[in-house]
Structure 1
Amino acid sequence: MSTYQIHGLKEKLTLGKFVVTVELEPPKGANPMPVLEKAAFLKGYVDGVNIADSPMATLRMSPIALAHVIQQDMGIEAIFHLTCRDRNVIGLQSELLGAAALGVRNILTLTGDQPTRGDHPDARGVYEVDSIGLAKIAKQLNEGLDLTGHPLNGPTQFFIGAAANPGADDLDVELEKLKRKVDAGVHFVQTQPVFDLNQVERYLELTRDLPIHIIFGILPLKNGKMAHYLNQKVPGIQISEEIISKVEQGGREAGIEVGKQLIEKIKGIVQGIHIYPIGDLTMVSELLDIPQKMPKVI
């Protein structure tokens, strides 16, 4: 068994170790090298990398295949995203069984963006189940049964994840949805970006009785324009005027400092952080004080 499997994300969270994960976007093409170089840059500084599933409904390499290559060639554990947009329940089960055979056991269950948002707007979304239904499928496969209750020739061992939103307008509704995800079999969540210690503490208090690991999202702000856009246009993101003012005045450097300060404040009370680099891995480098220079990738 590989090292990343013995001391993987599940084991680290179970043992109470603070974990760091970073989201990477698969390439549009058959060459995985640009992403492998990014993964190699992060090796030793993160506990896992998330591989998105055609994010924003734009065509990308299979997250399961890429997650397998990263684990096999880079020795870094991967969390693959799987959406309900492109596959019916037969296809979803087939993908999961294939992932299990490849040793990719961490999954983030997502409903998925509508095809109309992406580069194939005429494609048809499937959505036979939603993210909760997908979590139930993964849980049932872990129990050695397919969705119809028929036995498999061997159970899977998925560590099942989902998305969560501490900044939701209606936290009662959000909490109820999270409870349904836990009941469906979810073991951990990675949240939307947070920018405020009070928001983190409030969410921890609301979820303290739930048997789930929570990894909080961190998104480094590049400038005031970005901060305003996120605050006004992206549901579930709340950025204070104080932080917006700091980033407006100090730009990228201030955004990195805000992120660093938040990480230091929450590090002792949360189980981990999930960094959204938004296409700029140097932001991750500065947040985590990685001394090496980010390689040029194509």
Structure 2
Amino acid sequence: MAVFGVPDNEHARMLLSPLAAGRAVREVGGDPLLHLTCRDRNRLALESDLLGAAALGLENILVVSGDYVTLGDHPQAKPVYDADSVQLLQIARGLMEGHDSAGWPLSGSPAFYLGAVVIPQAEPLVPQLIKFEKKVAAGAQFFITPPVFDLEKFRQFRQMLPPHPVKLLASVKVLSAEEVAQAAAGQWRQVYSIPPEVVQELSGLGPEEVLAKGAEVAGRLLKQIKAAGLADGVCVKAKGRSDLMAMVLEAAGV
């Protein structure tokens, strides 16, 4: 396992500060990938957190826009979005060049490995490809996708993706019974684009059975992505459970 993702109030739900969580991962010997969302802070706070990350030895940064607060568990919270994801990449790159977003020089310069998100399932796809190029120009060195369930859509995305010098990591996800029920009712996140046959395969099972079957599905997708050479690596989302992670990797033959 190369890195461990450390989310920043993922899905607009309150979680432990990624700076604290990332440091905890580092202290037990892991290599954290710190997520940084545009939703909750202005650029002053974002720059402060980036410098804090560098001081804690957290150099891997994934820049994300962040789900809107009405989708999370604090719908009354006020979103910020002072900087969008492209601007935050530019801000981070500026810090690496030795200045802040206001143009003031720093006494030193941090080193980051900057990542961003690209959505292969977006419809229409062309605006997403344009944003991909903007993020590369802004300093993104790697990209991670939302969970891939529709392999054909992902294949089409790769065919349309322009030549680029950055790494692409495809995500696979273990679905829960609640998520399967939401997908069956048409309420699940559209960026996931879950095919009906996947929903059918995971329907009618108990909570633990769904997770086990979901791990099998995720492992199968990982194996297909790897065999087809569609990504440079894979991000596995397994509910934070090592047993499910092992099941995904076993199903993938990794």
Give the TM bin, normalised by the shorter chain. 0.7 to 0.9
The answer to whether the Cα contact below 8 Å between 1:222 and 1:247 also exists between their aligned partners in 2 is no
* From 132, 144, 149, the counterpart of 1:190: 144
Question: Aligned letter for 1:167?
Answer: Q
5+ residue gaps, structure 1, are: 1-45, 291-298
Aligned residues: 243
- Partner of 1:289, secondary structure, is helix
* From 241, 245, 250, the counterpart of 2:196: 241
Structure 2 residue 16 is matched with structure 1 residue 61: yes
Shift of 1:200: 2.7
- 2:183 maps to 230
Structure 2 residue 11 is matched with structure 1 residue 52: no
Residues 195-248 of structure 1, C-alpha deviations (whole Å, 9 max, x = no match): 23323322222225022211101012345x734633733122223333333333
Q: Which structure is higher in RCO with an 8 Å CA cutoff and minimum separation 6?
A: 1
Matches within 5 A, 1:161-200: 161-200=115-154
Instruction: Answer with 214-223 or 116-125: which moved more.
Output: 116-125
Change in Cα spacing, 1:96 to 1:220, as seen in structure 2 (3 Å) is: same
Residues 43-87 of structure 1, C-alpha deviations (whole Å, 9 max, x = no match): xxx21111111223333221012202211x211110111112222
- 1:267 maps to 226
The answer to whether the Cα contact below 8 Å between 1:175 and 1:207 also exists between their aligned partners in 2 is yes
What is the distance in 2 between the residues matched to 1:237 and 1:84? 21
Question: Aligned letter for 1:172?
Answer: V
What is the distance in 2 between the residues matched to 1:196 and 1:120? 31
Shift of 1:138: 0.5
Runs in 1 of length 4+ with deviation above 4 angstroms? none
Residues 74-115 of structure 1, C-alpha deviations (whole Å, 9 max, x = no match): 111101111122221111111111111111011111222334
- State TM-score, norm by structure 1: 0.74
- State TM-score, norm by structure 2: 0.86
Matches within 5 A, 1:100-119: 100-119=54-73
Question: Aligned letter for 1:57?
Answer: A
Change in Cα spacing, 1:113 to 1:197, as seen in structure 2 (3 Å) is: closer
CA RMSD of aligned residues (A): 2.3
